[in-house]
Structure 1
């Protein structure tokens, strides 16, 4: 079983690695794109070094994701989870958003009754 990141550096690193690999990039390629050494990307992804704020903004811009998505990976805060769901819903048209909302409401009702 994979170890779940615990510190903010590890969570940010996991986010960066997830976004990089989703685009089929190597650490070396990402390093070249953002103007750092490959080892710097490696340190970011391992959580050994926190990226400076401006570098995080640069990464979010390059990955075309909200900055907060790099900061909140695997957060269990209800507000963060709700924000993640809202972000997913925003990519759907009105009919599909309504379908997902109804399905989620039904599932929540069923699961709440199982307690």
Structure 2
């Protein structure tokens, strides 16, 4: 079970890092660990500490909650996930998707 959690968190970190256009070496240096350690975190070999997760999230300019995405379906957690998906998109694409979400929310709510 611990391995599954470590792997899920590691995949989320790797995805956020790639989305930010950063290398493992860049992030590792900025947070004060070696590249091998960050690689092990991203592969789920080790589970990072909360302070390390905070540093990674700060460097990637994301909410720490995205690393735990999928563990909760509450609106705030989902909003953080949506934000992380929308951030790399062009403004017009973000606005288009926002309108699609509004339409679907109206349709599903009633």
Name the CA shift for 1:17/1:101 in 2 (closer, same or farther; >3 Å): closer
Structure 2 match to 1:24: 21
Quote the Cα distance in structure 1 between the aligned partners of 2:13 and 2:98. Answer: 31
Aligned residues: 97
Gaps of at least 5 residues in structure 1 are: 1-5, 110-115
Structure 2 match to 1:50: 47
Runs of 4+ in structure 1 deviating by more than 4 angstroms, as ranges, are none
Matched, 1:12 2:9: yes
Matched, 1:78 2:73: yes
Output one character per residue of 1:40-96: Cα deviation in whole Å (capped at 9) or x when no partner.
011000110011110111111111211111122xx16432xx33443347x89xxx6
Name the CA shift for 1:57/1:107 in 2 (closer, same or farther; >3 Å): same
Gaps of at least 5 residues in structure 2 are: none
Greater displacement, 61-70 / 39-48: 61-70
Higher-helix-fraction structure: 2
TM-score, structure 1 length as denominator?
Answer: 0.66
Structure 2 match to 1:62: 59
Output one character per residue of 1:5-54: Cα deviation in whole Å (capped at 9) or x when no partner.
x8110111011101111122221222111111111011000110011110
Q: CA RMSD in A?
A: 3.0
